[in-house]
Amino acid sequence: MIKIACAQYQIEQLANWESYVVKIDKLVAEAKKQDATLLVLPEYAGVEIACNKFDTDKELYNALAALVPTYLDFYQTLAKKYDIYIQAGTIVEKISADKYSNRAYLFSPKGAFGYQDKLQLTQFEHHLKLLQRGNEQKIFMTPFGKIAIAVCYDSEFPEIVRRLVMQGASIILVPSYTTSVAGYNRVFLSCRARAIENQCYMAVSFTVGNVDLSDKAEDTYGQAAIFCPADTGFPEDGIIAQGTMNEPMLVCGDVSLADLDRVRQSGQVLNFHDTEHCLHLENNKLEIITL
């Protein structure tokens, strides 16, 4: 059994780096206290390390550039200290003179780490003209199975998650940041759908509350959750755990890869296998009938 802890997390303007260290250490300690194997933070959680308010997003992103090495060292140390896997949400990382990547790191308690860049940018992110979309998907091998990451908007595309599951990922982590109830629902409901259609686990974290680190303050909305197939042996609504809307908290739930194997072989429906038949439809004739 694997216990996942998903954070409903508030991004704040902190006084200094030490304040950030204390805040995150306390959060990870709480996850470990609840016997979590894996902790998931939300999208953009890493921008908090700037510990300042900036006039523009570009100024904020530039300030983060010098801090990324310290950020990586900190989470490596923290994962080892508490013997826990940490998906640290995302941080904006400078990759060229005027281009940045929205990057989600996963840290192992053994000291190793890797990252997944966000693949699909929202209209707001396009409008900034600062962020560059990723072009590669990654699978993370762990002692308890293959894990993958779909950053926020990426979860709304069945093709993105399906490819990860077809390559063996049974747990998809979804760090998210949504600035409307509609945006929250798009991610929340998409993750529920992805869990059903792929017979996999989807673990989604959200930023909650007001965020005021650059030129425009934003209200964020979220309800962290862990989703599963809605089938025999699982909750009938496909929800293992979910938080209280917009309240900072940890949402924890147990997942079993053996249960996934069982439901994929003998569930009421066999979505994982039957999707293969849908793929063949691309080669079939499509008839248009005028009525």
In-domain check, residue 291:
no
Task: Please list, in sequence order, all residues whose beta carbon lies within 8 angstroms of the beta carbon of residue 24, skipping any fewer than 6 positions away.
Answer: 74, 78
Would you say 140 and 147 are in contact if contact means Cβ atoms under 8 Å apart?
yes
In-domain check, residue 107:
yes
Name the residue type at position 36: A
Q: Report the number of distinct structural domains present in the chain.
A: 1
Name the residue type at position 125: E
In-domain check, residue 227:
yes
Name the residue type at position 275: T
Task: Please list, in sequence order, all residues whose beta carbon lies within 8 angstroms of the beta carbon of residue 99, skipping any fewer than 6 positions away.
Answer: 130, 131, 132
∠ CA 26-31-33, nearest 5°, is 90
Q: What average pLDDT values come out for the chain (291 residues) when binned by 10 residues? A: 97 95 98 98 96 89 94 98 98 91 97 97 88 96 97 97 96 97 98 98 96 87 97 96 97 97 92 79 82 94
| pTM, to two decimals | 0.95
Tally of CB atoms within 10 A around 163: 14
Residue 119: the pLDDT is 98
In-domain check, residue 288:
no
Name the residue type at position 257: L
In-domain check, residue 87:
yes
Distance CA(4)–CA(228), nearest Å, equals 13
Name the residue type at position 50: A
In-domain check, residue 137:
yes
Residue 31: the pLDDT is 98
In-domain check, residue 56:
yes
CATH number at residue 34: 3.60.110.10
Distances (CA, A) of 70 to 13, 38, 280: 18, 22, 48
Distance CA(166)–CA(285), nearest Å, equals 26
Would you say 36 and 84 are in contact if contact means Cβ atoms under 8 Å apart?
yes
Name the residue type at position 190: S
Residue 187: name the closest of 199, 197, 176 by CA: 176
3-class DSSP assignment, residue 207? strand
Residue 270: the pLDDT is 85
100-120 in b/e burial notation, b at 16+ Cβ within 10 A?
bbbbbbbbbbeeebebbbbbb
Distance CA(205)–CA(203), nearest Å, equals 7
Would you say 104 and 175 are in contact if contact means Cβ atoms under 8 Å apart?
yes
Structural domain range at position 76 = 2-283
Residue 96: the pLDDT is 85
Residue 49: the pLDDT is 95
CA 120 to chain centre: 13
